[in-house]
Amino acid sequence: MSFAVAIDGPAASGKGTIARAVAAHFGFLHLDTGLLYRAVGRQMLDGVAALKAAEMLTPDRLDDPSLRHADVAQAASKAAAIPEVRAALVDFQRAFARRDGGAVLDGRDIGTVICPDAEAKLFVIAAPEIRAHRRCAELRASGFDVTEAEVLDDLRARDERDMNRADAPLKPAEDALMLDTTEMSINDAVAKAVAVIEKLR
Ligand code: C5P
């Protein structure tokens, strides 16, 4: 039997960490859908046309550590505004959501477009400064030399593009539960998400 959990929200809101922890808790598989767009963005930076990159995407490309780079994130959000690129990635995500045994997908449009019939939907938000602080720490831990101000600029530019695009803009599904992690520890945010999903099973 399938059970789909959709976790959407802006970059560095905590959704990825929550998604991984929820998947581990329930024994579900997890797909970070941002990696699909990052893999396309990565190839765009290498001169490959966005649509071609999306159509030829294979899962082995999702393991590349360079996908975390800020340039790749910006290219990803540009690629993600192209409707044909999004369309090319839909089937893979829907099949993942409906595989046997349960799945957690995190992204921007999982609850609205990819899986509007998901059994559980969360929309995770946090204040931009907190998101920049967290993402900066993550990037530094991975060896990237960045400042909080640069990271905040990057997040704001992507929020703006992701929320205002015509196709599948970043927004909560009407039936999504809102989770504001600004003043929550990650453990509390995970516990809250697990409790909400537990009730829906
Ligand atoms: O989540 P992450 O920051 O890795 O996503 C990178 C970019 O991919 C986002 O800024 C967004 O433009 C795009 N994206 C999307 N839809 C998703 C996941 C990511 O448009 N479901």
- Owner of token pair 């967290």: 134
Measured in angstroms, how far is the CA atom of residue 80 from the centroid of ligand 1?
7
Percent of the chain residues topping a pLDDT of 90: 99
The span from the CA of 127 to the CA of 136, in Å, is 14
pLDDT value at position 145? 94
Q: Tokens for 57?
A: 């995407």
Nearest CA among 79, 109, 100 for reference residue 172:
109
Third-level CATH fold of 4-200: Rossmann fold (3.40.50)
Span 102-156, pLDDT tens digits:
999 999 999 999 999 999 999 999 999 999 999 999 999 999 999 999 999 999 9
Averaged confidence pLDDT in the chain: 97
172 is in an annotated binding site: no
Distances (CA, A) of 192 to 28, 113, 124, 172: 17, 24, 11, 18
pLDDT value at position 112? 98
Q: 38 pLDDT band (50/70/90 cuts)? A: very high
pLDDT value at position 158? 94
The span from the CA of 199 to the CA of 191, in Å, is 13
pLDDT value at position 144? 93
Distances (CA, A) of 55 to 37, 42, 43, 183: 12, 14, 12, 40
Residue 17, ligand 1, Cβ within 6 A: no
Mapping DSSP to helix (H, G, I), strand (E, B) and coil, where does residue 31 land? Answer: strand
pLDDT value at position 91? 97
Mutate to test the pocket of ligand 1, among 20, 84, 94, 108 (most ligand atoms within 8 A of CB): 108
Q: 14 pLDDT band (50/70/90 cuts)? A: very high
Query: ipTM value of the model?
Result: 0.99
The b/e string for 16-29 (b: 16+ C-beta within 10 A; e otherwise) is: bbbbbbbbeebebe
pLDDT value at position 77? 96
Q: Tokens for 92?
A: 């893979």
Q: Are 163 and 170 in contact (CB under 8 A)?
A: yes
Percent of the chain residues topping a pLDDT of 70: 100
13 is in an annotated binding site: yes
pLDDT value at position 180? 98
Domain spans in the chain, listed from the N-terminal domain onward: 4-200
Residue 38, ligand 1, Cβ within 6 A: yes
Span 45-85, pLDDT tens digits:
999 999 999 999 999 999 999 999 999 999 999 999 999 99
User: Can you name the residues that pair with 178 across neighbouring β-strands?
Assistant: 123
Nearest CA among 10, 4, 3 for reference residue 34:
10
Alpha helices in the chain (DSSP H): 15-26, 34-45, 50-55, 70-79, 83-97, 128-141, 148-164, 186-200
10 is in an annotated binding site: yes
